[in-house]
Homo-oligomer: A and B are copies of this chain.
Amino acid sequence: MGKRIGIGLLGLGTVGSGVAKIIQNPNGRNPLVKQVELVRVAVRDLNRPRSVSIPTSILTQDPQSVIDDPSVELVVEVMGGLEPARSLILRAISAGKSVVTANKAVIARHGEEIATAANSAGVYVLIEAAVGGGIPIIEPLKQSLGGNKIKKVSGIINGTTNYILTKMAKEGAAYIDVIKDAQNLGYAEADPEADVEGFDAADKIAILSGLAFGGPIERDKIPTEGISNLLSRDIDYAKELGYEVKLLAVAEKFQTNQTEGKAIPLAVWVRPTLVPSEHPLAGVSGVNNAILVEGDPIGEVMFYGPGAGAGPTASAVVADILNIAGISAIGNSKNKLDPLLAGSSWRNCQLEESRKFIQKNYLRLKTQDTPGVIGKIGSVFGDHGVSIQSIVQFDSQENDAEIVVITHEVSQGQFVDSLEKIKGLSEVKGLAAQMACI
């Protein structure tokens, strides 16, 4: 047992307080928790009442002073937001201090810059809390699944939208009512855009896909569609056809033969998606998250649990702190890193354009209620090589009918082209809804 490792905590909100509580109450936890100590804590407001008691002497409003404090060996960033978080992380790295962060936005956008800086400074930047709340998923991708060729990572990685979708499905409630309820319960933020438009999920799948496939990807190029336009009617139709609707984030290797040394082509996307009821992701409800990883030779493994919240996220932050405490116990020379824990890039990844994706599709069309409509729609798809799994007329009022189509796996380019033709049919009044399907 060496001396304790000094932690500098940046941020004392719900996650920061959760981390402090664990460190202050080590009994019954891994004994390594006793080997770390909170030595400096940066807060926004010194006088705000808090759920943890921290000695005033270690509180400060100046996060830079926390990083610069010589008693701080490890910087834990749980402030959130892009700046000053990014600059503070880089400053800690420059000072030769390892960093633990829960900041998915910074890592998704500046992960490469940060990883490069960390590797040349010989320090770790660990990010277990950035994806999936308490669920161990970063570590498994970096370490436990390292013997596999990963084929696909897919998951429900935003708790807010999954709560909303679960509620819409159970109660047939409208999006607008459920979002208000979620805001009142604290499951959605006052400005829910990052969650409901899929941006948060896109941040997270960018991070997961970088780890799974070994190279950074361009976050801003991920095709992203949220749930704010979703109607409960489509959730109901999906259910009748044997599916649940989930906001899925997917990163998948293209099936093309890959030339060794060339960038690996990936399909990465976030979309509302029909998931077959018997699929392991279909049963993931409420604010839970789940991530399914497919690899060779492992097959499919799934990681499931609370995707957000102070306790689970703090658990993930502490896991990273312990990893660093564990490895410091070896007393290694500063600049040699465990490459598995550091988890740097080892090949180039390239996002394919979405027209090349091979996917199943759900769509709902408003049409005239006249004979032969289904036949015409089917013919257009057939002409474009789009194979249909099912085509069902659901509802008709006066002259209007609703036709729901689920395709087999088809090239999205062909699908989009055929859809344009279908929208041009005189019997078709409009495209009412469109989702992915797995």
**Cβ-based interface call for A378 (8 A):** no
Which residues from 298 to 326 on chain A have a C-beta closer than 8 Å to any C-beta of chain B? 298-306, 309-312, 314-319, 321-323, 325-326
Give Cα A306 to B302, complex, Å: 10
Known: A33-B147, A330-B330. A312 touches B298 (CB 8 A): yes
- Chain B residue numbers with a CB within 8 Å of A374 are none
Closest residue on chain B to residue A327 by CB atoms: B338
A139 CB contact (under 8 Å) in B139, B327, B333, B337: B139
Q: Are B303 and A143 interface neighbours, CB within 8 A?
A: no
A332 CB contact (under 8 Å) in B214, B301, B317, B332: B332
Q: Are A149 and B330 interface neighbours, CB within 8 A?
A: no
Closest residue on chain B to residue A304 by CB atoms: B302
Max chain B Cβ within 10 angstroms of own Cβ: one of A260, A297, A309, A316: A297
Q: How many residues of A contact B (CB 8 A)?
A: 68
Give Cα A146 to B315, complex, Å: 8
The stretch among A23-31, A70-78, A391-399 that forms the contact with chain B is A23-31
Copies in the complex: 2
**Cβ-based interface call for A61 (8 A):** no
Give Cα A321 to B147, complex, Å: 9
**Cβ-based interface call for A184 (8 A):** no
Max chain B Cβ within 10 angstroms of own Cβ: one of A31, A306, A316, A339: A339
**Cβ-based interface call for A340 (8 A):** yes
Q: Are A330 and B327 interface neighbours, CB within 8 A?
A: yes
Contact with B along A13-29 (1 / 0, CB 8 A): 00000100110000111
Q: Are A147 and B30 interface neighbours, CB within 8 A?
A: yes
A322 CB contact (under 8 Å) in B31, B140, B340: B340
Q: Are A140 and B136 interface neighbours, CB within 8 A?
A: yes
20 CB contacts below 8 A, A to B, read A22-B297, A29-B147, A30-B214, A31-B346, A134-B298, A134-B299, A136-B144, A143-B326, A144-B316, A144-B319, A145-B315, A147-B321, A148-B315, A301-B303, A304-B304, A322-B340, A327-B338, A329-B337, A329-B338, A331-B336
Q: List residues of chain A with CB under 8 Å of any chain B CB.
A: 18, 21-22, 27-33, 128, 134-136, 139-140, 143-149, 214, 258, 260, 280, 283, 295-306, 309-312, 314-319, 321-323, 325-327, 329-333, 336-341, 346
